[in-house]
Amino acid sequence: MTTIPPCCYSHFIRPALRALESHGVDISEVLMHNGLSSSVFKKPYHKISPLQLTQFFANILKLGISPNLGLEIGQQIGLSDKSALGHAQLSAQTMRHVMALGQKYMPMFMPLVQWDMKINQREIQLYYSTSFPDEIYAHHDKGFLQNLEWFLTEIILGMHINQASLVPGELSPKLLDLPFPKSRNQKTDYRTIYQGDIAYDQGSYRLTYSMDIFDQTLPNYDQYMVDAIEQLCIKMREGLNQEMNTQDEVEYHLNARLGHYPGLEQIAAKMAVSPRALRRRLQQSGSSYQKLLQQSKHRLALDLLVNSDLDLAQVSKLCGFSEARNFSSSFKRWQGCSPQDYRKRT
């Protein structure tokens, strides 16, 4: 199984939200149980965990909006959603180079789906696979996880087929292999994005392209631009591997799962330090576990009151309070007004 990196950038959440908004979905419904808030989408290089990303897409799947939604989201993914990677791909020499850059840097944004290229003299085949964080298996049954695998793969599949716009003329796969029987395809309409041959019950997703198409020189090819932008990709990837400062890391763990606030001892264990050492580090940085905990709950409360239709009891529970009256008391201390008054004002 592919090793999943500890964190990724939140860029791919944006095209998903655009697709959801076109269906009139309340965004708060897909932010449940994953520690994400709408403020994440205002930070271009916000780091999230693969578990948060997985739960975000699981929440979308549970809504049952449209069988074509994975393909829709994939087609929504533009250059800006892939940051420096998108611009490097736009300047690449061939589609083979475009795909190679994606293999190299796409895990920064979508670590849950991988693809391998198999090349012979006449064609190139892309094989798709998925990997989930271990924790996700405890919360969903096998059938749901199978559908989630298909859903996530269809996002990348839609993105890859949509990349044909990089090439003048026709750049379409000559064959699309699907892992399920034809009966399921009556729900998901692949003909919305693909007009070639389709083979069913093939065990996995696979796209097959003609070699001559893959090695055509692209119209925007600029090697100097590719080299320069790839350096930005490298810096972005290194940024994911850099250690967070103590406050950021504690906040990361506090926000990792909506409604679940690990204690200082639990966070210290995840950071491989003693609770005493963690308290000291936070004190040296001018903070404390309790201060960061209260800030985390305060931010979430503001977000839920403004961006969701949850009632006060539900907001209280997600903010870690067993009773709404205790939440109201804390909120008034944080904000200087009651939660009800704050919601009315905003």
User: Which tens digit of pLDDT belongs to each residue from 95-105?
Assistant: 889 889 999 99
Q: Where in the chain is the domain with CATH 1.10.10.60?
A: 246-345
d(Cα 259, Cα 317) in Å, to the nearest integer?
7
Tokens of 225: 């631009």
pTM: 0.76
What's the topology of domain 246-345? Arc Repressor Mutant, subunit A (1.10.10)
Average pLDDT over residues 78-103: 90
Average pLDDT over residues 135-144: 83
Q: Tally Cβ neighbours within 10 Å of residue 134.
A: 9
Q: What mean pLDDT, rounded, does the chain reach?
A: 86
Average pLDDT over residues 163-184: 73
Give the rounded percent of residues in the chain with a pLDDT score beyond 70.
91
Give the residue with greater pLDDT, 33 vs 328: 328
Tokens of 295: 């800030």
Tokens of 243: 């250690």
Handedness of CA 35, 38, 40, 41 (dihedral sign): positive
**Segment among 48-62, 221-235, 245-259, 331-345 with least mean pLDDT:** 245-259
d(Cα 210, Cα 164) in Å, to the nearest integer?
13
Q: Where in the chain is the domain with CATH 3.90.1520.10?
A: 8-239
Q: Is the pLDDT of residue 316 over 90?
A: yes
Task: Tell me if the domain spanning 8-239 has CATH number 3.90.79.10.
Answer: no
d(Cα 241, Cα 7) in Å, to the nearest integer?
8
* pLDDT on residue 164: 67
Q: DSSP assignment of 49-111, as one string? A: -HHHHHHHHHHHHHHT--TTHHHHHHHH--TGGGHHHHHHHHT-SSHHHHHHHHHHHGGGT-T
Average pLDDT over residues 242-247: 76
In DSSP terms, 210 is beta-bridged to 123
